[in-house]
Amino acid sequence: MEFRSILKPAKDVPITWWSSKDPMEPRPKPSTLLILCVGLWIFGTGDAVIVAAGVGNTPWTVLAEGIALMMGRTIGQATFFVSIAVLFLWIPLREKPGIGTILNAILIAAAIEYMLPILPTPEGALESLLQVIGGIALVGIGSGIYLTANLGPGPRDGWMTGMQRVSGYPIGNVRAAIEISVVIIGWSLGGTIGIGTIIFAVMIGPTVAICLNIAGEIGRPQG
């Protein structure tokens, strides 16, 4: 396994030894379920790290923070509420959730809820930016792990792909439209946007692609 090849971005989600053969599998292997849960917790922790940096949240967390401020709830709780609300938007699109979809809604919100209070507050701009980059790395690692489990998309990704299928617009355009919309709504409710939001938007795609390739190399089926 060459270092240069392992850092090459993946073009799609690779198949690993822990990947489920069916995204709708009701009783996945324990190893697949465990790896899925680990990936989702890492993802949520990365999101919490970015929030704690205080220089701008990820698009969906801008919305969650705005809702949290409006409702007097925590960001973790609001993240869960948003996930459930988005799942209802699946109904007219006839999308079907898998076990991974439900666990995505629960575990990412739980990780934000429990990790955010214990994370450090940066003392300066450089520390904040480094913390954002670290959070993006964790989100990428978590994505690389949970996506390869192949147990159903998260609520937001499932809605995005469903909207793309129904509308016929390119997936990049659909994602951009959704994320710009949630940022605007979240910001209008008091959510935090800033340089961290911009850095996330620029870095998250390549980071997830590289982490998917690493997961594929590590988990390559034998034989």
Q: Is residue 20 part of a domain?
A: no
In angstroms, rounded to a whole number, what is the distance separating the alpha carbons of residues 205 and 202? 7
Q: How far is CA 118 from CA 48, 106, 111, 115, 121, in A?
A: 10, 19, 11, 6, 9
- pLDDT, position 35: 97
| Any domain includes 77 | yes
**How many structural domains comprise the chain?**
1
What global pTM score does this model have? 0.94
d(CA 34, CA 133): 26
Residue 12 has a pLDDT of: 87
Distance CA 50, CA 199 (A): 11
Position 223 scores a pLDDT of 57
Contacts of 77 (CB under 8 A, 6+ apart): 68, 109, 113
Rounded Cα–Cα distance for residues 92 and 165 (Å) = 12
Residue span of the structural domain in which 105 resides: 28-218
- Which residue stretches of the chain are H helix? 3-6, 30-53, 59-71, 75-90, 99-115, 125-149, 155-167, 171-188, 195-218
What is the spatial distance between Cα 101 and Cα 108, in angstroms, rounded to a whole number?
A: 11
Question: What are the pLDDT tens digits along the chain (223 aa)?
Answer: 566 667 788 888 899 999 999 999 989 999 999 999 999 999 999 999 999 999 999 999 999 999 999 999 999 999 999 999 999 999 999 889 999 999 999 999 999 999 999 998 899 999 999 999 999 999 999 999 999 999 999 999 999 989 999 999 888 889 899 999 999 999 999 999 999 999 999 999 999 999 999 999 999 887 5
Domain membership flag for residue 119: yes
Q: Is 151 inside a domain boundary? A: yes
pLDDT of amino acid 11? 83
19 within domain boundaries? no
Residue 83: name the closest of 169, 188, 157, 14 by CA. Answer: 157
Q: Is 149 domain-assigned? A: yes
The pair of structure tokens assigned to 89 is 């938007």
Q: What is the pLDDT of residue 1?
A: 54
Question: What phi, psi does 188 have (nearest 5°)?
Answer: -65, -25
Annotate 147-168 with DSSP letters as a single string.
Answer: HHH-S---HHHHHHHHHHHHH-
Indicate whether 175 belongs to any domain.
yes
Would you say residue 156 lies in a domain? yes
